[in-house]
Amino acid sequence: MTDLRIVSHPDFRDRLARLRTTELNFQPRQDGPFTRQQGWRLDHYRRRLPSEPPGPPVPGGSWELAKRLSETYEFADPTLVRAFYDPREPLIGRTMLLEVHFWGLRIYAGVRVGGASDGIREHDGRRARVAVWNYQTLEDHFESGQIDYEVWKWLDSGEVEFRVDAFSRPAPIDQPIVRMGFRLFGRRTQIKFARHAGLRMAKLTEAALSGDPRAEPAPLVAADLAVRPQPDKQTLLERSVRRVRGRKPPRE
């Protein structure tokens, strides 16, 4: 059942414990790709990050920083979604509770990390170092599918990229408000999430390279629970200023 909240919060540790025994709401297949003909939406996004010299990733450089920011889910726009998880769990198999912000509401849904890898890929005759991980939707989620988060470094040029690749389709939704909202704005929100993720990743990587401490992952809520990302104070301030300005009458 879709967990919809307006004021209250769930017991995050209890929800995560229950989600660890929850099955996926779709069947991953090893025998071929998911296609639009099967009703899936396929999305591919790319964002350039600060480059490095050609060759293997530079210690403490753009690729390593982006990989860390990716694996901790720090790149997500906190105005759209946050993730709660136990950082002591291995990345592969980790269960995450997502808090999705939608229509002024909070919708909680579970995902599980299905795979992660870090190695060399060859593409169009070029070699790249690629770190990738994905999460897959659980039975209580309002969508079915998988999102892959990838950090690429092209070894010949030093170019670094962040990629988001996904396949998804709506899952049965029992909450009428969530069902209607997802029909009207779900696709728009999907696109906004992916685009904001790339933009935020680029900004955080640039800030981390410059030594800005605000680019570091947010602190743990408690010893056994992480929340990523924390709301960005500057983002909240800018939104408040825009709201105030928007209520002012136009100048004549």
Instruction: For residues 179-189, give the mean pLDDT.
Output: 74
What does the pLDDT read at residue 106?
Answer: 86
Please determine, for residue 233, whether its predicted confidence score (pLDDT) is greater than 60: no
**Bridge pairing between strands 226-228 and 160-170:** unpaired
**Bridge pairing between strands 126-137 and 95-102:** unpaired
Cα separation of the two ends of the chain = 52
Residue 243 pLDDT level (bands cut at 50, 70, 90): very low
What does the pLDDT read at residue 190?
Answer: 87
Please determine, for residue 122, whether its predicted confidence score (pLDDT) is greater than 90: yes
Report the percentage of the chain scoring pLDDT > 90. 59
List, for residues 9-52, the tens digit of each pLDDT value.
788 899 999 999 999 999 887 656 788 878 899 999 999 999 99
Instruction: Supply the pTM of this predicted model.
Output: 0.85
Q: Which of 194, 145, 160 is nearest to 44 (CA)?
A: 194
Within 8 A by CB and 6+ apart from 69, the residues are 75, 201, 204, 205, 208, 215, 217
Instruction: For residues 154-164, give the mean pLDDT.
Output: 98
